[in-house]
Amino acid sequence: MNRSLKWFTVGLVSAWYASNIGVLLLNKYLLSNYGFKYPIFLTLCHMIACSLLSYAAIVWMKLVPLQIVKSRVQLLKIATLSLVFCASVVGGNVALRYLPVSFTQAVGATAPFFTAVFAYFLAAKREAWLTYATLIPVVAGVVIASGGEPSFYLFGFIMCLGATAASRAVLGNVKGAVAVVISILIFKNPISATGVMGYLLTIIGVVLYSTAKKRSK
């Protein structure tokens, strides 16, 4: 039973990686290589597809139980989370018009920084100083990667930062590293040694941040 559960979990994680990276690369191809100029409409298609597939999985296939909204407060929280997530996807798609996937994933790796900042100012949640110290290489890595990015575009960079600020989870950075390698192989966008060093520094910072948070708990 445990073995079956293990392989089921591996299958789910693999499917999540494949679908996320696949959508990311498809969006990049449509917005940059194919010349599609409507990232917000692309986001609308994304949201509609997610809604329909979720409805089918819940109502028809019954993969997960149907959850009922029990109060206005809960509805408000769900609506707020939905708007923030939508803004994140829109920002990410707009950024893909101007920046290579490799660079957007490097910026996306700074999600722990925004998580810590928002938790401090909005929820008054304070971490240990060691945890905050691990964020230094996260930010420094992106600064270095920005300086060494041949295709750097300021507006795309701002949109990517906004999308990252509206997103969260450290596990996604592993997916980001895989997406970087695949995107470079497919789109053959130019990269520099400085950019690679910056991205690696950011990933190291994320790993240290995750380790520090676990120890603080």
pLDDT in tens, 162-206: 888 776 564 556 677 777 778 888 888 787 888 888 888 888 888
What's the pLDDT at 149?
Answer: 75
What's the pLDDT at 1?
Answer: 55
What's the pLDDT at 217?
Answer: 66
Q: What are the residue ranges in the chain where pLDDT is below 50? A: 170
What's the pLDDT at 169?
Answer: 67
Contact (CB, 8 A) for 197 and 137: no
176 by Cβ neighbours in 10 Å (0-12 / 13-18 / 19+) ranks as buried
What's the pLDDT at 127?
Answer: 80
What's the pLDDT at 6?
Answer: 81
What's the pLDDT at 116?
Answer: 84
What's the pLDDT at 199?
Answer: 82
Listed in sequence order, the residues at least 6 apart from 188 whose beta carbon sits closer than 8 Å to its beta carbon are none
